[in-house]
Structure 1
Amino acid sequence: MKTLEQYFSEQPLLPDDQVAPFEKSELSEAEQAFLTKYLGVTDTDKKSVARHINAPDPVQVMAGPAELPEVSPEPPVKHAPEHKTPGHVGPQLPGPAHAQKTLRDQEELQLIGFRLAEQEYALPIDVIQEVIRAVAATRLPSTPAFLAGVVNLRGKVTPLVSLRVLLGIPAGEDKFVVVCRHAGLQLGLQIQAVSTMHRVAQNRIDWGIESLLGVQNDFITGLIRSENHRLIGILSLDHIVHTLLKT
């Protein structure tokens, strides 16, 4: 069986000739909100902005979810299922929360795990477009510390988010970027390394644990209890995007 790293290295790059240049593409509402907030530009300013944003040649190490191999599910926890009232979906998340609510309705989740320092985190595979090697970003003035910069990635304005700053993790070398698209915005999350894939039953996940983890972990929407008794934090992409765009 191939290792995850071997699989990633064999994935083909996305066809660049099928991607519209940033200055010619249509902006989503979220993309326009990002450009307006951090650069003070409008849709008509795209061409001049594109000249100043680094457009790297990304090295893809993992394709999107349609290309991911099947992985065996982790066995469910052997205890009585939690009793929930009809329609219960957990606490209301800030920002557009539809995707997070949907996670709670699935019997089983497939996620990609990645490491930051000694801790593992995860994201559902359906929000991940690809994983690329770290790229140089264009730094923006007067921005929050968690915003590492912005790149023109495959024709899309793409903010790069430092999860270390966002989660209060000590500085370190982040060699990869998880590229996600959510709520109309493409963004990259800087990570240390990809670890593994998970298929997890709902009764192995504790939702709505933000208040237990503290204010710096508002961006964790759930905890996976793995077979080796380690806790894996599921990131809230809803909350990350909302924090990035809020006024």
Structure 2
Amino acid sequence: MGQDIKVIVFKLGEEEYGIEVDKVQTIERILPITRVPKTFAFVKGVINLRGVVIPVIDLRGRFGLPEAEFTEQSRIIIVAAEELEVGFIVDSANDVIDLNTDIIDSPPEVVGGIKAKYLDGVARISEERLLIMLNLSEVLNRNEIIQLESLEG
């Protein structure tokens, strides 16, 4: 039997993605982002959230999807991974659902243009609705995080 997990659902374009709730600190509206030189293009810069400086990644850019303008719905999802807090910019984040791990299948090679290594799997919630589960440790690949950590100093 799989276990039930709570998942925050967010969107990039038409696709829905999930991150386990226990990895998510908060979800914020778009805050002023301070650019940081010499970083990957998908690293948008840093935000100051209640006195903590947090690097912010554009998930579209991270996945090689076309960038989009921020809208009223745009959100920054603050996640904690391996002692590091990072913000993900997403098109919207509007749902928390319960999922049973049994319905998560291993990801195909590419889903919605995103390489499988960034994904934990795909959950089929209903006939029409697929949820792409993120593999946070790959999205926040160590080597790239090391660069982010140097931003915080």
TM-score category, normalised to shorter length = 0.7 to 0.9
Q: Indicate yes or no: 2:79 matched with 1:162.
A: no
Q: What is the alpha-carbon distance in structure 2 between the residues aligned to residue 145 and residue 230 of structure 1?
A: 31
Structure 1 residue 136 corresponds to structure 2 residue 136: no
Letter in 2 for 1:213: V
Q: Secondary structure at the match of 2:109?
A: helix
Deviation digits for residues 36-69 of structure 1, max 9, x if unmatched?
xxxxxxxxxxxxxxxxxxxxxxxxxxxxxxxxxx
In the TM superposition, structure 1's runs of 4+ consecutive aligned residues that sit over 3 Å from their partners are none
Measured after TM superposition, the shift of residue 246 of structure 1 is 4.7
- Kindly, what percent of the aligned residue pairs are identical? 27
Whole-angstrom CA distance in 2 between matches of 1:202 and 1:186:
25
* Residue 205 (structure 1) aligned with residue 104 (structure 2): yes
Which structure shows the higher strand fraction? 2
Alpha-carbon distance between aligned partners in 2 of 1:240 and 1:155, rounded to the nearest angstrom: 25
Bigger radius of gyration, 1 or 2? 1
TM-score between the two structures when normalised by the length of structure 2: 0.82
Cα distance between partner residues in 2 of 1:246 and 1:107 = 33
| Residue in structure 1 matched with residue 88 of structure 2 by the alignment | 189
Counting matched residue pairs gives 141
* Equivalent position of 2:145 in the other structure: 245
Deviates more, 1:231-240 or 1:119-128: 231-240
Which of 123, 127, 131 does residue 224 from structure 1 map onto?
123
Q: Distance in 2 between matches of 1:240 and 1:115?
A: 16
Deviation track 1:86-123 (CA, whole Å, cap 9, x = no partner) reads xxxxxxxxxxxxxxxxxxxx611110101111111110
Rounded to whole Å, the distance in 2 between the matches of 1:216 and 1:117 is 12
Cα shift at 1:171: 1.9
TM-score using structure 1 length: 0.52
Counterpart residue type for residue 109 of structure 1: I
**2:46 aligns to what?**
150
Q: 1:128, CA displacement in angstroms?
A: 0.9
Following superposition, the deviation at residue 157 of structure 1 comes to 2.3
List alignment gaps of at least 5 residues for structure 2. 148-153
> Which protein has the bigger helix share?
1
Whether the 8 Å contact between 1:223 and 1:233 is mirrored in structure 2 is yes
Deviations 1:132-187 (A, max 9, x none): 10012111112111101112222322110100011122221342100111211111
